[in-house]
A and B are shown apart, each in its own frame.
Chain A
Amino acid sequence: MELDYLATVLLSSLSSASILLIATIGLAVVFGLMGVINLAHGEFLMIGAYAALTATQYGIPFVIAIPIAIAVTMTIGAVVEVLIIRRLYGRLFDTMLATWGLSIAFYQLAVLIFGTVTPGIGMPQFNLRIGNYSLAGYPLLMIAVAAVATVFVYVLMTRTVYGMKARAAIQMPEMARAIGIESARVNTLTFAIGCGLAGFAGAVLLPIVPATPSMGFAFVIKAFLTVVVAGPVTLTGSALTAVGLGGGASVTASFLTSVAGDAFFFLITAFLLWLYPLGITAKWRTKM
C-alpha cells in the first residue's frame, strides 16, 4: 500500500472523528455535568444548521451565521430546561423519554417549516494534495475546529468562575447551595451551553452535512454512545472515545465497507461497556 494513500485515509479518518467530536461536545457537557441524557441533542444540532442556513439565505456571511445559530439554540435550550428538564433532574430515564418526545416534536416542526429537502450551501473550495490524492480542505479544517472547541469548553469549565460553579452545582447540588450557589440558575445556563454547542456543531458542519430535519438522528446515536463510554471525566474521555471509536470506524469503513465501519463502532462500544461498566474514565483522577 502506498504511503500517500495511507496518509489520506488517516487524515480523512481523523477528520471524521473530529466531526463526531464536534457533534458530541455539547452532549458531553449536558450528560457529564448534569446527568441528563438529551436525546434531543441531534435536533438542537439540526436547529443550529437551519438557523445558520436561514441566516446565509438572508445574505449574512457564514462566519457570522455561526454565532447566530449558537444564540438561537442557547435560547431554546434555556426555555426547554426551565419548562421540562428542571422537573426531571435525578430521573435519568424520564429525562431520556421526555427529550425523545422533544426530539420527535422538533423533527416534525422542522418538516412543517422547512420541508424535507433543503438547498445545501456550497463547501468552501480549497483542497489539500497528498501524493496522488486530493482531499477537500473544509473537512480537514474540522480537525482544528474540534481541537479549538474542546480546548474552549475545557477552559470554560475549569478556568472560569462559572465553570467552577457549574461543576460544584452538579457534583454536590445540596452543598453547592449551602455555599451560596444558585444551583437552578447555573443548571439552566449549563444546559443552554450544551444546546449552544450543538447549534455550533450544526452550523459549522453545514457545508459538510446539509440541513435536513432528520440529520439529528444520524449524529445523536454515535455521539450518545461516545459520551456513555467516556464516563465521568466527560470532556477528555469523549475526545478520546470519539477519536478511538469514530476514527476506528472510519478507518474500518475505508478498507472494508461503511456497514463494517458502523458494526465496528457498535461492537467496540459493547465491548468497552462490558469491560468498563461505568465508562473508561471511571477511575481517572482528573477534572474534566
Chain B
Amino acid sequence: MFRIVNATGGYGKTVIIRDVSIAVDKAEIVALLGRNGVGKSTLMRFAMALIPALSGHVEIDGRNAPEAPAKRAKAGVGYVPQGRYVFPRMTVTENIGVAAETNGHSGRLAVETALREFPMLRPKADDLAGGLSGGQQQVLALARALATKPKILLLDEPTEGVQPSIIDEMAGILKRINRERGVAILVAEQDLDFCLSIATRAYVMEKGSVQLETDRESLRTDKKLQQQLLGV
C-alpha cells in the first residue's frame, strides 16, 4: 500500500540515508527501530517530501506520490514529526480544525471526534498549543494528523519525553484507530516496549540503511538483538 523505494537523501551535500526501501501494507503497523542518528527521522522526512530526494521515490497504492509535501498530505500521508511541532500560537481546537478544513473535512466534526478520542485534550480545547505539556502536545500532534484522515500515518518518536501512562494510552488509541479505520502506521521509535505493544513487524536501521527486517517475536525474545539496539 505504502512503499519507500531506494530512498537516498540528506541535508545539503551530506547524505544521511542511503538506498532505503520499506513497505507498509494496508492496515499494518510497522516499526522502524534504531539508535539515535541512524537516519530514522531523515527517512520520515523523506517520506513526507520535506527533504529533496537525491534518488528513490515513494508510492501510495502503487502510484508515485506527488513531490510537494502539501499534495502528499492530501494524497493520504499523515505526519507526526519528532519534537511535536504543533502550531504554538493557535488553540488546540484550531490546530485540529485547520488540518481538517484544509483537507476538505468539517473542522467542527474533526474537533468533536478528536476530543472524544483523546479526552485529555478536552479541558485544554481553548488553550494555546504552545502552553501544553510535552505529552499533551504529542497527543495533539497525533490528533491533528488524524484529522486529515490519512491512509498512512508516519509517527516519528511519538514517545520521546512523554510520561509512561500517556504512552500506554497512546498505544491503545493507535491500535484502535488502526483496527477501526484501517489506517496503516509506520512508527520510528527507540522505545522497544511501545513498538512491541503495537507493531507486528519492524525494520532495524544502522548508519543510514536498513540492517534487517524482523518480527515482533524475535524482538521480544532475542537479548542479543536488544543489546545491539542499545549499541553496546
Show the binding face of A for B, using Cβ within 8 Å: 161, 164-165, 167-168, 171-172, 174-183, 232, 285-287
Cα distance A180–B68 when bound, in Å?
9
Do the beta carbons of A177 and B90 come within 8 Å of each other?
Answer: no
Q: List 13 contacting pairs A-B, 8 Å CB cutoff, sorted by A.
A: A161-B97, A161-B102, A164-B94, A164-B97, A164-B98, A165-B102, A176-B87, A178-B48, A179-B73, A179-B99, A179-B145, A287-B89, A287-B91
Q: Which partner residue on chain B sits nearest A159 by CB separation? A: B94
Interface: B22 (CB within 8 A): no
B16 on the A face (CB < 8 A): no
Q: A175-B87, A180-B148 are in contact. List 11 more A-B contacts (CB 8 A).
A: A161-B97, A161-B101, A165-B98, A171-B89, A172-B86, A172-B87, A172-B88, A177-B70, A178-B48, A178-B50, A182-B70
**Beta-carbon contact of B79 and A178 below 8 Å:** yes
Among the listed B79, B90, B99, B102, which residue makes an inter-chain contact with A287, where contact means beta carbons less than 8 Å apart? B90
Query: Contacts of A179 on B, CB cut-off 8 Å?
Result: 73, 78-79, 98-99, 102-103, 144-145, 148
Q: How many Å from the CB of A263 to the closest CB on chain B?
A: 35
Chain B interface bracket (under 10, 10 to 19, 20 to 34, 35 or more):
20 to 34
State the majority secondary structure of interface residues on A.
helix
Q: Are B103 and A180 in contact (CB under 8 A)?
A: yes
- Bound together, the chains give a CA A181 to CA B148 distance in angstroms of 11
Closest to B102 in A: A180
Q: A-B pairs with CB below 8 Å: how many?
A: 79
Q: How far is the CA of A232 from the CA of B89 in the complex (A)?
A: 10
**B36-60 toward A: CB 8 Å interface, digit per residue (1/0)?**
0000000000001010000000000
Q: How far is the CA of A182 from the CA of B90 in the complex (A)?
A: 18
Give Cα A182–Cα B102 distance, bound, in whole angstroms: 9
**Within 8 Å CB of A172, what residues of B?**
85-88
Interface residues of B in 83-125 (CB under 8 A from A): 85-91, 94, 97-99, 101-103, 107
Question: Is the pair A180, B128 in contact by a Cβ cutoff of 8 Å?
Answer: no
